[in-house]
Amino acid sequence: MFGVLRDLFRYRLEFRFGVILTGFIVAFAALSLASPYPPQDQFVVPPDLPPSWSYWFGTTSRGQDVFWLLTFAIRNTMLFGFSVAILSRLISIAFGMWSGYRGGLVDRVLMSVNDTFIVIPLFPLLVLFYFVMRDRMSWPLLALAMASLGWAYDARLIRAVALSLKSREFTQQCVFSGMRTREIVFQEHLPYVLPIVFYTTLNNMNWSIGLEVTLSVLGFTDIDTPTVGVMIFWANQHTAMVAGIWWWVFFPVLFVVILFIGLFLLAISINEYIDPRSRLARIEGASR
């Protein structure tokens, strides 16, 4: 596995860029541990100052330092995206694998349920969910809600892999040689499934962070905990763009876009690596 990653880094431009961008964001988020200001306090610095040597990213209308606030915001946003991705992996792997291996009626029923979740417009349901939970809404709860709605697309992909693996020759061999299902799944199939899981995790992170930013900007989440979406929400509350406090909006947007592009590049480079056809094309291209 690590050999593969190292090769990807060395030879694929997209992967390299993805790692650099994402790594930059992670390092930035780690800076939050060194912040001199508690993230929820306001009026700890003079408000509305433009970026300068004393305040690198300027200050907000609420008297907060944009630089340090952003470290918390990015950290919380990433943690949120990550937890949604992990939780929904559990559901999509369970659904996809079970459906793919079992086949038959189980497969058809599960896929019908799956397709329902693909087709249903999620955003209205999330808005509804927020209004039901309202003040009891917390980040873990929102993560749970989004995870339970966002697994469908990836479950299909995993099912496709499971189906193709099931019919391969080496699987039949393992069965004949007496390996138990669990051993087969974990020892033989996992290396094929992992890249797909990795790819879908990154995609899912992008999706959930995008949704979080949208919900927060509209005010449908806990607005006291700083995340990227919540920062933009407060900026809008204080009509920052019109008042000329552009740095309050610019830096969170810039950083979240960097994060998105980074994750996206990682995802497509791994996808290309997995897809055997494009590998062949690359090999051919190299020899042309």
Q: Which stretch binds another protein (CB under 8 A): 51-59, 68-76, 81-89, 273-281?
A: 273-281
> Please, are residues 214 and 238 in contact by the beta-carbon 8 Å criterion?
no
Which of 6, 11, 41, 172 is close enough to bind another protein by CB under 8 A? 41
Count the site residues for another protein by CB under 8 A: 63
Nearest to another protein of 167, 177 (CB atom)? 167
Bridge partners (DSSP) listed for residue 215: none
Binding of another protein by 288 (CB under 8 A)? no
Does position 4 interact with another protein (CB under 8 A)? The reply is no
Q: How far is the CB of 47 from another protein (least distance, A)?
A: 8
Per-residue binding string, another protein, 231-250, x by CB under 8 A, is: -xx--xxxxxxxxxx-----
Q: Least distance in Å: CB of 240 to another protein?
A: 7
What is the sign, positive or negative, of the torsion defined by CA atoms of 258, 261, 266, 267?
Answer: positive
Kindly report the CA angle at 80 between 76 and 83, in degrees rounded to 5? Answer: 140
Q: Which of these segments, 81-89, 94-102, 173-181, 208-216, binds another protein (CB under 8 A)?
A: 208-216
Binding interface with another protein (CB under 8 A): 41-43, 61-63, 112-113, 115-116, 118-125, 127-129, 131-132, 134-135, 153, 206, 209-211, 213-214, 217-219, 222-224, 232-233, 236-245, 253, 256-257, 260-261, 263-264, 268, 275, 277-278, 281, 284
